[in-house]
């Protein structure tokens, strides 16, 4: 008897494999059959020697892991009396192999097929896997492609970028309007702040803070660019930043605080608001990315909440969440450096009197909660559906989130690759040793 394993792979259906166990009786004289259970005998077709009843039956090249290639299978006296020299019966072999299915009546072949290859499901006998035309059917689920689990959806990423641009325009437009409502510095001094009372003012600290913001932003961009699922990660960044800027445009507009630094230069007020004036101010602020080191941020009143803190916090959270796992020490160090740099930059903003302490605290709270709630919803498919069990679905931005994240069903892994089609040597993928 011989046990053979045949795997057939064809074209596009490479995942479909036909596992076939073939029962093939062989001549007892031929001892070159791999996996044969025949006992090697010098004589012709005769019964086993009675003196060898108590000896183990050697196996040559058995492919079953439970037996081993050089093992021996002990035989009982009753079994030795019933065994023949030419071959074993099917029943004897199956008794030795209790996990093998019984051969069918209409042939010597036992076939295992994929469920997707079946044409008729009505002839199942009710057992697990079923049975069709004498073939034992084992249901094997289809392998889910990586493209289905992590869809790129480039159009959605582009739409998310437009949402970010819209949120930034709304924030700058709100600042353009708030500038006309800022209380006069000569009449209203800075509000009492515990940090201002403990630490003196450092004029150059705001420049240091914005330099750290520029460096952190570029490092974060590189980490996300080299991510394997960069379109998903960038889409999340754009959506979260658009939400934060939209909420900031509301909070700074409804409550206007007096200047925290009386010496800070503010552009003269126009005492009127026209569409052209609003457009020119928005363009000036956007061209300078809202930073004073570019010389374009000369409008005052953007206090609650701090945009500097939002950028620094989101950069740290993204680096900590999406940086590679290996080499572990290097990227753990990068995460720690990002945290230290962000904390230092926030401290510098307070030293320069660029914001009140309440602006920093609210910005940190809103940014971290938005990030954590967003990723909690994104990493749990059950939370992407509204219902009585899902209170997070009551957020006003949940329908927007559901549209952009509805097709990402699992957590995005920390995998990185080369983002460009050249040079090709960086695109080489090592073989999968686990397959």
Is 359 noted as a catalytic residue in this protein?
Answer: yes
Q: How far apart are CA 92 and CA 82, in angstroms?
A: 9
Using alpha carbons only, how large is the chain's radius of gyration in Å? 36
pLDDT of residue 292: 79
Biggest CA-to-CA distance, the chain: 119
Comparison of pLDDT for 370 and 88, the residue scoring more: 370
Backbone dihedral region of 309: left (phi > 0), alpha (psi from -120 to 50 degrees) or beta?
A: alpha
Q: Which of 179, 227, 229, 355 is catalytic?
A: 355
Q: Which of 101, 108, 109 is nearest to 129 (CA)?
A: 101
Of 179, 227, 229, 308, the catalytic one is 308
Question: Per-residue pLDDT for 81 more than 60?
Answer: no
The three-class DSSP label of residue 58 is: strand
Neighbour-count burial for 164-181, b at 16+ CB within 10 Å, e otherwise? beebbbbbbbbbbbbbee
pTM (2 decimals)? 0.64
Quick one: pLDDT band at residue 423, thresholds 50, 70, 90?
Answer: confident
Give the ranges where 62-181 is alpha helix by DSSP (H). 77-82, 90-96, 146-149, 154-178
- The yes-or-no answer on residue 375 being catalytic is no
CA–chain centroid gap for 119, Å, is 36
- Does pLDDT of 161 surpass 90? yes
Which residues lie closer than 8 Å to 109 by C-beta, 6 or more apart?
Answer: 20, 21, 22, 23, 103
Interval 255-304: pLDDT, tens: 999 999 888 888 888 877 888 888 888 888 888 877 878 777 788 888 99
> What is the per-residue pLDDT for 172?
92
Tell me, yes or no, if 325 is annotated catalytic.
no
> So what's the pLDDT on residue 315?
95
Report pLDDT for 185: 85
Query: Which strand ranges, in their side-by-side order, compose the sheet holding 3-6?
Result: 3-6, 19-23, 109-112
- Residue 100 gets the label, from left (phi > 0), alpha (psi -120 to 50) or beta, of beta
Q: Which of 407, 326, 313 is nearest to 366 (CA)?
A: 313
Q: Are strands 19-23 and 109-112 parallel, antiparallel or unpaired?
A: antiparallel
Contacts by 294-297, CB closer than 8 A, 24 or more apart: none
Of 94, 154, 174, the C-alpha closest to 407 is 154
Helix (H) or strand (E) holding 22: strand 19-23
The single residue of 33, 359, 389, 428 carrying the catalytic annotation is 359
Q: Could you tell me which residues are beta bridge partners of residue 227?
A: 416
What is the arithmetic mean of pLDDT over 28-49?
A: 45
pLDDT, tens digit, 9 for 90 and up, residues 356-409: 999 999 999 999 999 999 999 999 888 988 888 899 999 999 999 999 988 887
Q: What is the pLDDT of residue 404?
A: 92
| Residue 127 CB contacts under 8 Å (≥ 6 apart), including other chains | none
Query: Is 90 within 8 Å of 103 (Cβ atoms)?
Result: yes
Please give the angle made by the CA atoms of 305, 306 and 311, to the nearest 5 degrees.
Answer: 125
């Amino acid at each position: 008897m011989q046990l053979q394993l045949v795997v057939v792979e064809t074209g596009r259906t490479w995942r479909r494999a036909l596992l076939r166990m073939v029962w093939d009786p062989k001549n007892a004289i031929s001892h070159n059959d791999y996996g044969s259970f025949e006992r090697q005998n010098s004589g012709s077709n005769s019964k086993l020697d009675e003196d060898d009843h108590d000896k183990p039956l050697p196996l040559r090249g058995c492919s079953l892991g439970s037996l081993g290639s050089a093992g021996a299978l002990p035989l009982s006296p009753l079994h030795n009396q019933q065994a023949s020299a030419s071959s074993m019966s099917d029943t004897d072999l199956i008794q030795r192999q209790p996990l093998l299915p019984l051969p069918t009546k209409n042939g010597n072949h036992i076939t295992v097929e994929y469920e997707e290859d079946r044409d008729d499901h009505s002839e199942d006998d009710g057992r697990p896997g079923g049975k069709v035309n004498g073939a034992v059917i084992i249901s094997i689920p289809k392998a889910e492609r990586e493209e289905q689990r992590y869809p790129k959806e480039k159009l959605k990423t582009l739409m998310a970028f437009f949402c970010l641009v819209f949120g930034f325009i709304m924030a700058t437009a709100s600042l353009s309007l708030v500038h006309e409502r800022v209380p006069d510095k000569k009449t209203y001094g800075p509000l009492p702040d515990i940090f201002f009372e403990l630490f003196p003012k450092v004029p150059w600290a705001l420049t240091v803070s914005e330099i750290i913001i520029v460096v952190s932003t570029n490092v974060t961009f590189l980490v996300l660019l080299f991510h394997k699922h960069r379109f998903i990660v960038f889409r999340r960044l754009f959506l979260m930043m658009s939400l934060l800027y939209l909420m900031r445009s509301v909070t700074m507009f409804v409550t206007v605080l007096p200047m925290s630094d009386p010496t800070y230069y503010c552009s003269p007020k126009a005492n009127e608001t026209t569409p052209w004036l609003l457009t020119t101010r928005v363009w000036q602020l956007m061209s300078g990315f809202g930073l004073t080191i570019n010389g374009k941020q000369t409008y005052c009143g953007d206090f609650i909440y701090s945009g500097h803190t939002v950028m620094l916090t989101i950069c740290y959270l993204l680096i900590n969440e999406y940086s590679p796992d290996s080499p572990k020490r290097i990227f753990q160090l990068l995460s720690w450096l990002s945290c230290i740099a962000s904390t230092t930059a926030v401290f510098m903003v307070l030293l320069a009197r660029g914001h009140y302490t309440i602006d920093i605290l609210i910005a940190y709270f809103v940014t971290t909660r938005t990030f954590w709630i967003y990723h909690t919803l994104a990493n749990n498919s059950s939370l992407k559906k509204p219902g009585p069990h899902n209170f997070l679905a009551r957020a006003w931005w949940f329908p927007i989130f559901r549209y952009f994240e509805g097709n990402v069903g699992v957590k995005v892994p920390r995998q990185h690759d080369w983002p460009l089609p050249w040079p090709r040597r960086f695109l080489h993928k090592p073989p999968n040793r686990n397959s």
